[in-house]
Amino acid sequence: MRRMSRRAGGRVRAQNAHDPGTFANGGARHPSTHTAMFNEPDEHQEIRDAVRHLCRQFPDEYFREIDARKAYPERFVDALIEAGWLSAMIPEAYGGTGLGLTAASVIMEEINRSGGNAGAVHGQMYNMGTLLRSGSAAQKEKYLPAIAAGKLRIQSMAVTEPTTGSDTTKIRTTAVKRDGRYVVNGQKVWISRVQHSDLMILLARTTPLAEVRKKSEGMSIFIVDLREAIGRGLTVKPIANLVNHETNELFFDDLEIPEENLIGEEGCGFRYILDGLNAERTLIAAECIGDGYWFVERARKYASERVVFDRPIGRNQGVAFPIADAFIEIEAANLMRFEAARLFDEMKPCGAQANMAKYLAAKASWEAANVCLQTHGGFGFANEYDIERKFRETRLYQVAPISTNLVYAYVAEHVLGLPRSF
């Protein structure tokens, strides 16, 4: 009996890597890039094309092997740094390209749309928001040129704690000023990329909660040099998890931080860090949109080629309509992503838009993931199709960096004017 290929039967159309209709990892690309389906030029097309060109050097097999080993994609990250993509938000005066959050979000989108995982590098982007907008001139001069040159990485932000979760104002990690230094004690959890970063943004209480007028006061942010801190007051404990995502528990035991590493004014850290959080949510939205397009394209291609009962399964409305629905949801989320990024770049309030973009994009990508898996049936569970890997990766964003319920709470209170729920 002839053994059938696991790449299920049907008419398989070869893809030419030089065909403008091909996707970044060699698969077919949908003709739309955010607004292209409406016959409008994409002002970011040059960035998209360049990132896709880089991503072609790291096909599905590369990320599949990295995922199997629970490893960090060092070669891919090095290539992004070498090409200057991770310095997109750093002003030209400091050696960056000064492109802003909108362009940074396009970079993150294209990485995921190409089958990669921007979670390995997105911290460098959103941590820029905090340092750029709240750091001193001396701090920018000290760190930004080295980050832009790829000599330093600032991939980590330490905010969440095991006993407080999303209730950031109740954090217990303290930083006490003593003899020109801050002494830090406490614990953080779910802090990512610590083992692949040189610098970390830390939020800690410098004034006890009982002594402040508003619970959002009395917190400060610091730059922590991880090369000096680990083993000298900072202990890092990795957390094994569902996704290939390096994340950790941190234990601070009399860690000393130089006074000049305080960002901005003492006690105002919560307000400063909001910029970084808004940037983070907008970038995560872009990554989810990239995932969503990836899932839709894989489902579209498979449904067009997989023949059952003598016809492509995509001819069945029960298969085609869910794919179309997923695409519509992604396109809608994409509009909110660009609105949030635009407001951020224009230095305007964007908390509502950043939260809504993250919610819409995470929801759309997860629905697209389910549609893609369902379309492929049993083959979707096979590692070689990469769907199960991307399925796990995009599921994270229903929970992080902010849960769906907290987005609801924010919109209910700050947009709709409903009574505060907590």
Active site residues: 280
| CA–centroid distance for 327 within its chain | 20
Peptide bond into 401 cis (omega under 30): yes
Q: What are phi and psi of 41, to 5 degrees?
A: -65, 145
> What's the full length of the chain, in residues?
422
Distance CA 224, CA 257 (A): 7
Q: What count of other Cβ atoms lies within 10 Å of the Cβ of residue 105?
A: 31
Which of 48, 51, 66 has the alpha carbon at shortest distance from 393? 66
421: which residues sit within 8 A by CB, 6+ positions away?
Answer: 409, 412, 413
**Could you give the CA distance from residue 35 to residue 45 in angstroms, rounded to a whole number?**
11
Residue 406: half-sphere exposure toward Cβ, Cα within 13 Å: 16
The partner residues of 307 in beta bridges, in order of sequence, read 312
Please list the helix, strand and coil fractions of the chain in percent, rounded to the nearest 5, in that order: 55, 15, 30
| Closest-CA residue to 154 (of 176, 132, 185) | 132
